[in-house]
């Protein structure tokens, strides 16, 4: 629950090694969050999160926990959420920050790898989000932050596997937010453009690139304002309002 000054207390990061997820959690700790569960594949101890754990400890007095979470194992997602609740009680903010950014050319050479990564990016998000939503609905409060992407707003031929998965993520997250209306729980859909992180290092920056810190600042502001969507940076919203209307012959000529 939020305290008297509007700060949340407990945070679960699904994808606890994500630079964006860590930046959001760090900002929440600086704002007053005191209990954080980091969940990532093969991690069961706080020490398994290395620099992320150090940053959170430096951000303020915080109780940290580590939980094993694999987006490719949907059968365990409800168990992961239940374990986080055992550790910190009600979940005030859950950040779904996991995903894979593969290479389109490699996907076309190895279709099985494309299917596997879509399963992580979209299937894993669906399973984990439904498990979280069930918990938040039962609590009667809490927010699920879903990291979508402008890549899913209109899918490009040069990035169609990742973009199509993010399109599914985005549409699903919006509908999940609608389903939670009136329950006290909600979904915040985050639509960043190119973010400078280790995951995007192999990709040439698109126009209006941003950083994980900037995304975190905008996400936390959106949480405080009870918004349901945030674009990072804000200029991408009107830009994609135009790009969505481009005729297909023009759209397919765009370089990225």
Residues noted as catalytic:
162
Cα gap 121→168, rounded to integer Å: 9
Residue with tokens 């959420």: 81
- SS3 for 41? coil
Whether 14 and 38 have beta carbons less than 8 Å apart is answered as no
The CA distance from 180 to 239, in Å, is 29
SS3 215: helix
Six-digit token string for 152: 């899913």
Stated as kind and residue range, the H or E segment containing 144 is strand 142-147
Residue 221, number of CB atoms within 10 A of its CB: 12
Half-sphere CA count of 212, side-chain side, radius 13 A: 18
41, 45, 50, 52: CA torsion to nearest 10: 80
């Amino acid at each position: 629950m939020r305290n008297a000054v509007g700060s949340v207390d407990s945070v679960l990061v699904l994808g606890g090694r994500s630079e964006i997820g860590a930046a959001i959690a760090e900002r929440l700790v600086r704002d007053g969050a005191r209990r954080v569960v980091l969940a990532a594949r093969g991690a069961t101890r706080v020490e398994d999160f290395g620099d992320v754990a150090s940053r959170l400890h430096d951000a303020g007095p915080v109780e940290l926990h580590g939980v094993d979470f694999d987006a490719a194992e949907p059968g365990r997602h409800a168990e992961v959420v239940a374990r986080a609740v055992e550790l910190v009680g009600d979940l005030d903010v859950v950040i779904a920050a996991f995903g894979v950014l593969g290479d389109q050319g490699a996907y076309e050479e190895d279709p099985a790898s494309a299917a596997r990564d879509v399963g992580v990016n979209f299937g894993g998000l669906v399973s984990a989000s439904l498990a979280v939503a069930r918990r938040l609905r039962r609590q009667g409060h809490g927010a699920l932050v879903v990291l979508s992407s402008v890549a899913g707003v209109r899918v490009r031929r040069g990035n169609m596997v990742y973009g199509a998965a993010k399109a599914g993520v985005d549409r699903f997250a919006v509908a999940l937010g609608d389903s939670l209306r009136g329950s006290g729980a909600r979904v915040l859909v985050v639509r960043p453009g190119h973010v400078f992180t280790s995951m995007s290092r192999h990709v040439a920056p698109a126009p209006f690139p941003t950083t994980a810190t900037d995304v975190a600042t905008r996400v936390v502001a959106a949480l405080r304002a009870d918004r349901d969507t945030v674009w990072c940076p804000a200029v991408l919203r009107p830009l994609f309002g135009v790009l969505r209307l481009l005729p297909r012959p023009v759209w397919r000529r765009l370089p990225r």
